[in-house]
Amino acid sequence: MAEPNSNSLIRFPTVDQCESNGREKHTVVADMDGTLLIGRSSFPYFALVAFEVGGILRLLLLLLASPIAGFLYYFISESAGIRVLIFATFAGMRVSDIESVARAVLPKFYSTDLHPEAWRVFSSCGRKCVLTANPRVMVEAFLKEYLGADLVIGTEISTFKGRATGFVTSPGILVGENKAEALEKAFSTTTPEIGLGDRKTDFPFMKLCKESYIVPRKPDVQPVGPDKLLKPIVFHDGRLVQKPTPLKALLIILWIPIGFLLACLRIAAGALLPMPIVYHVFWALGVRVTIKGIPPPPPKKSTGQTGVLFICSHRTLLDPIFLSTALGRPIPAVTYSLSRLSEIISPIKTVRLNRDRVKDANMIKKLLEEGDLVICPEGTTCREPFLLRFSALFAELTDELVPVAMSNRMSMFHGTTARGWKGMDPFYFFMNPSPAYEVTFLNKLPNELTCGAGKTSHEVANYIQRMIASTLSYECTNFTRKDKYRALAGNDGIVVEKTKNAADKVMGC
The answer to whether residues 198 and 260 belong to one domain is no
In a domain, 105, yes or no: yes
Q: Whole-structure pTM over 0.75, yes or no?
A: yes
CA distance 285 to 220: 37
Measured CA angle at 315 (ends 480, 385), to 5 deg = 75
Give yes or no for a contact between 33 and 134, defined as CB atoms under 8 angstroms apart.
yes
The answer to whether residues 179 and 298 belong to one domain is no
The answer to whether residues 195 and 319 belong to one domain is no
Q: For residue 254, give every residue at least 6 positions away whose Cβ sits within 8 Å of its Cβ, in sequence order, or none.
A: none
CA distance 334 to 324: 14
By residue count, the chain amounts to 509
The answer to whether residues 51 and 170 belong to one domain is yes
Domain limits for position 191: 15-217
The answer to whether residues 158 and 255 belong to one domain is no
pLDDT tens track, the chain, 509 positions: 444 444 444 478 999 999 999 999 999 999 999 999 999 999 999 999 999 999 999 999 999 999 999 999 888 989 999 999 999 999 999 999 999 999 999 999 999 999 999 999 999 999 999 999 999 999 999 999 999 999 999 999 999 999 999 999 999 999 989 999 999 999 988 899 999 999 888 999 999 999 999 999 887 899 998 888 999 899 999 999 999 999 999 999 999 999 999 999 999 999 999 999 999 999 999 999 999 999 888 877 655 678 899 999 999 999 999 999 999 999 999 987 778 888 888 899 998 888 788 888 999 999 998 899 999 999 999 999 999 999 999 999 999 999 999 999 999 999 999 988 889 999 999 999 999 999 999 999 999 999 999 999 999 999 999 999 999 999 999 999 999 988 888 776 664 433 344 444 444 44
Q: Please, which residues bridge with residue 399 across strands?
A: none
What CATH number did the domain enclosing 94 receive? Answer: 3.40.50.1000
Q: Over the stretch 293-302, which tens digit does the pLDDT of each residue have?
A: 998 888 776 5
Q: For residue 327, give every residue at least 6 positions away whose Cβ sits within 8 Å of its Cβ, in sequence order, or none.
A: 295
| Model pLDDT, residue 509 | 45
The answer to whether residues 206 and 269 belong to one domain is no
In a domain, 231, yes or no: no
The answer to whether residues 154 and 255 belong to one domain is no
Edge-first strand order for the sheet with 288-292 is: 288-292, 436-441, 401-409, 309-312, 373-375, 333-335, 350-352
Instruction: For CA atoms 361, 505, 99, 38, give the dihedral sign.
Output: negative
- How many separate domains does the chain show? 2
Q: Which of 173, 199, 217 is the last residue of a domain?
A: 217
| Model pLDDT, residue 399 | 92
Q: For residue 32, give every residue at least 6 positions away whose Cβ sits within 8 Å of its Cβ, in sequence order, or none.
A: 130, 131, 132, 133, 134, 139, 143
The answer to whether residues 207 and 254 belong to one domain is no
The answer to whether residues 341 and 269 belong to one domain is yes
Kindly list the distances between the CA atom of residue 251 and the CA atoms of 39, 191, 256, 424, 433, in Å, as whole numbers in the listed order. Answer: 21, 47, 9, 20, 12
The answer to whether residues 318 and 425 belong to one domain is yes
